[in-house]
Amino acid sequence: MHEIIAAELSASNVIDSEVLSNLFKQTCRKINKLLGDGVYDIR
């Protein structure tokens, strides 16, 4: 079973790693898996 415990909506020029610390601040729970879509990440 998977559960979303934190989420952040950002502009298309913001990469996943830039908001990661904000996501951690949203929960005190242990995180077993972290997924970022990477759709708008600059390569």
d(CA 8, CA 20) in angstroms, rounded, equals 9
Res 41: pLDDT: 57
Find the angle CA(30)-CA(38)-CA(3) to the nearest 5 degrees.
Answer: 30
Model confidence pLDDT, tens digit, residues 1-43: 788 888 888 887 888 888 888 888 988 888 888 777 766 655 5
CA–CA separation, 14 vs 29, rounded Å?
25
Residue spans of the domains in the chain: they are 1-43
What local confidence, expressed as pLDDT, does residue 40 receive? 62
Say what the pLDDT of residue 11 is: 84
Q: DSSP string of 1-43?
A: -----------TT--HHHHHHHHHHT--S--S------TT---
Please give the sequence-ordered ranges of beta strands (E in DSSP) within 1-43, or none if there are none: none
